[in-house]
C-alpha cells in the first residue's frame, strides 16, 4: 500500500478524531466532572495520533527495498549459478 505523508497525516487525524468522539460519548454518559471528560478525551485523541504515526514509521522502516528484480529478466539469465545450485543439478 502506497500512501503519501499528507494522506497518512489525514488518516491519522481522522482516526484520532473518531476515537476521541467515541471516548467523549462514553465519558459523557459516566458520572464524571466536565473537566475530567475533556482532559480524557484530549488525551485519547493525542495518544491515538501519536501511536498511529509511530506505527506508520515502523511499517515504513520494515518495508523491503523497491528495487526487486523481475523473475524473467535478462540479468537473471546471465547470472552465474551458486555453488549449491551447481551441486544440486
Q: How far is CA 44 from the centre of its chain?
A: 18
Mean pLDDT value across the chain:
78
- pLDDT by residue for the chain (89 residues), tens only, comes to 577 888 888 898 999 999 999 999 988 888 888 888 889 999 999 999 999 999 888 888 877 765 544 455 555 555 666 666 555 55
Q: What is the 3-class SS of the chain, one letter each residue? A: CCCCHHHHHHHHHHHHHHHHHHHHHHHHHCCCCHHHHHHHHHHHHHHHHHHHHHHHHHHHHHCCCCCCCCCCCHHHHHCCCCHHHHHHC
What pLDDT does 70 receive? 46
Task: Give me the residue spans of the domains in the chain.
Answer: 1-62
What pLDDT does 68 receive? 46
Amino acid at each position: 500500500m502506497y500512501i503519501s505523508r499528507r494522506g497518512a497525516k489525514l488518516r491519522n487525524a481522522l482516526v484520532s478524531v473518531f476515537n476521541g468522539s467515541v471516548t467523549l460519548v462514553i465519558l459523557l454518559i459516566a458520572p464524571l466532572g466536565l473537566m475530567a471528560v475533556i482532559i480524557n478525551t484530549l488525551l485519547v485523541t493525542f495518544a491515538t495520533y501519536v501511536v498511529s504515526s509511530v506505527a506508520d514509521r515502523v511499517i515504513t522502516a520494515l518495508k523491503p527495498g523497491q528495487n526487486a528484480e523481475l523473475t524473467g529478466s535478462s540479468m537473471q539469465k546471465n547470472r552465474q549459478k551458486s555453488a549449491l545450485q551447481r551441486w544440486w543439478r
